[in-house]
Amino acid sequence: MTLPHKVLALHETMTMEAAFDGRPANLFTLTNEAGMTATFMDIGATWLSCTVPVDGDAREVLLGCANMTDHLKQSAYFGATVGRYANRIAGGQFTNDGKTFHVSTNQAGNTLHGGPEGFDQRRWALDSRTDSKLAFCLFSQDGDQGFPGNLEAKVTFELTEDNTVAISYQANCDKPCPVNFTNHAYFNLVGEASGEDCLGHELTISADRFVPTSDVGIPTGELKSVAQTGFDFRKGKTIAQDLRLDPEQVLVGGYDHALLLKPEVCDGISDCVKVISPDQKITMMVQTTKPAVQLYTGNFLSGTKGTSGEYRIHQGFCLETEYLPDAPNHPEWPGDSILRPNQTYAHYTGYRFIF
């Protein structure tokens, strides 16, 4: 298929300036018969663009930057593959097998998304590529950001004929280490250039509990029922309906919390999340093998320079499938966030678009 103009333009503008290592990024676009496109780059193994055919137009449903200068300045983790440990580790430390490890901190004395030089800031190597699938790999040495063990990571992206952007993660490590990869895509199903915020999207999440946190996102230790709170998305509602209803939301300006998915929907096949665009022209379904999803409503996007201009608060939302935040310090919680030498980290998340 002929790529949409906006995708061709991104290939040009994103590669005009060098990345942090002095070389331009490499971009790759996957296509399918329905006319969808999904574009990725090796810097951060980043999901840069996702276009969906709507009314004869290629609607861009991801937030992001159009050039490398803006991409390197943003701190929103647009579309990046996040690791070694997505979300937060309290105080930049955890204890495993009786030994305490200290990892690099980068947010209020805590470790966020792998530390100050997380996987979002690495050039991943292209491992394989076809028209519908590509894989990136990365080697992270023992002691990287303080994490133990030599880790080999691989992320595979596929655009399927049922309009799913399928993301598969694999990793091996020669020492026990917390590992928690996710993709940090920001969605706006009305369109990145629409100028509309994300609050009119109707959202359903199969989750009975959520994780209350401090004002800097560190869990209090409680797994709280969503019943009679603004975190109850079990029956579906707009994001706006209960925005900032709860004291937990007020602390962080909206939703920025992990919801613990019902175990029966964490098989990588079942739909655990459903999102309907305000114009009802796109529905997105999410499948995952992870036990939780972090709902983030772009509470700190204001002033960030994006492809179509400066973004405003709540311009997009994230659905980051993951282990729970600070899980290395809460071994009693569902899911085992410690990858051991005799194990392979293997997880899947799919974002399926209906249009």
Give domain status of residue 64, yes or no: yes
Report whether 87 belongs to an annotated binding site: yes
Q: What is the maximum alpha-carbon separation in the chain? A: 59
Beta bridge partners of 321: 293
Whether 33 is catalytic is: no
DSSP annotation of 218 reads -
Whether 320 is catalytic is: yes
Catalytic residue among 320, 322, 330, 347: 320
Mean pLDDT value across residues 152-159 = 98
Where is 9: in which H helix or E strand? helix 5-13
pLDDT of amino acid 139? 98
Report whether 77 belongs to an annotated binding site: no
Structural domain count of the chain: 1
Give domain status of residue 98, yes or no: yes
Q: pLDDT for 160-173, tens place per residue?
A: 999 999 999 999 99
- pTM exceeds 0.95, yes or no: yes
d(Cα 131, Cα 348) in Å, to the nearest integer?
Answer: 20
Amino acid at 328: P
Mean pLDDT value across residues 49-61 = 97
Nearest CA among 339, 331, 350, 42 for reference residue 171: 339
Q: How many Å separate Cα 120 from the centre of its chain?
A: 11
Contact by Cβ (8 Å): 40, 134: yes
The percentage of the chain sitting over the pLDDT mark of 70, rounded to a whole number, equals 100
Q: pLDDT for 108-144, tens place per residue?
A: 999 999 999 999 999 999 999 999 999 999 999 999 9
Report whether 102 belongs to an annotated binding site: no
Give domain status of residue 254, yes or no: no
d(Cα 258, Cα 256) in Å, to the nearest integer?
Answer: 7
Mean pLDDT value across residues 145-158 = 98
d(Cα 193, Cα 202) in Å, to the nearest integer?
Answer: 19
Give domain status of residue 333, yes or no: yes
Give domain status of residue 179, yes or no: yes
Contact by Cβ (8 Å): 88, 77: no
Length of the chain: 355
Beta bridge partners of 81: 183
Q: pLDDT for 203-242, tens place per residue?
A: 999 999 999 999 999 999 999 999 999 999 999 999 999 9
Q: pLDDT for 306-327, tens place per residue?
A: 999 999 999 999 999 999 999 9
Report whether 88 belongs to an annotated binding site: yes
Give domain status of residue 192, yes or no: yes
List the structure tokens of 82: 């996040």
Give the domain CATH number at 30: 2.70.98.10
Give domain status of residue 237, yes or no: no
pLDDT of amino acid 1? 87
Would the pLDDT of 97 be above 90? yes
Catalytic residue among 71, 113, 184, 330: 184
Phi/psi at 257 (5° precision): -140, 150
State the CB neighbour count (10 A cutoff) for residue 187: 22
Give domain status of residue 272, yes or no: no
The percentage of the chain sitting over the pLDDT mark of 90, rounded to a whole number, equals 100
Beta bridge partners of 40: 28, 47
Boundaries of domain holding 137: 1-197+299-355
- DSSP string for 230-267: TT--TT-EETTTTTT-SHHHHHHTS-EEEEEE-GGG-S
pLDDT of amino acid 25? 98
Nearest CA among 182, 251, 244 for reference residue 217: 251
